[in-house]
Amino acid sequence: MKIRDELRQMIAEANKAAGIGQHDMAKKWYLLAIDAAENDRWLVGSLYINLGTNAEAASRDKNAVVYFRKAIEALENLRGDGFLECAHAYYHLADILIEINHPDATKYAEAARNNLYWAI
């Protein structure tokens, strides 16, 4: 089996586990997929977004913040779909920070808007 096939299977397992509320199992699969994705910054960033939404669903907002920031690191300055995915990460991060009245929430919301602007 090719590495890409294995990677697709890892992502499918992670998504399946997340979809049925098995958040720890989903986390395990997403982290394995991130390791397998190696230097594919777009895929790594997208998987960190998935990890962040999985952490949010498990009421682990502090972990979600870490994952969304890692997604932004991976996706920042990527052209095309990278802008859209980065906007997605910024949006989720801003949403969590707004809920806790964090002073940086507006900064991340603006970054989401700016990335969305460049995506279209």
Token output for 8? 């697709």
The phi, psi pair for 20, rounded to 5°, reads: -110, 15
Task: Give the domain range for residue 17.
Answer: 3-119
pTM of the entire predicted model: 0.89
Confidence grade of residue 1 (pLDDT, cut at 50, 70, 90): very low
Which amino acid, 1? M
Cβ count near 110 (within 10 Å): 12
We report the CATH number of the domain holding residue 8 as 1.25.40.10
Q: How many domains does the chain have?
A: 1
Report the share of the chain in percent with pLDDT over 90: 76
**pLDDT by residue (tens digit) across 39-90?**
899 999 999 999 999 999 999 999 999 999 999 999 988 877 888 899 999 9
What does the block give as tokens for 6? Answer: 């294995």
Residue 26, CA atoms < 13 Å, CB-side half-sphere: 21
Please provide the distance, in angstroms rounded to a whole number, between the alpha carbons at the two ends of the chain: 37
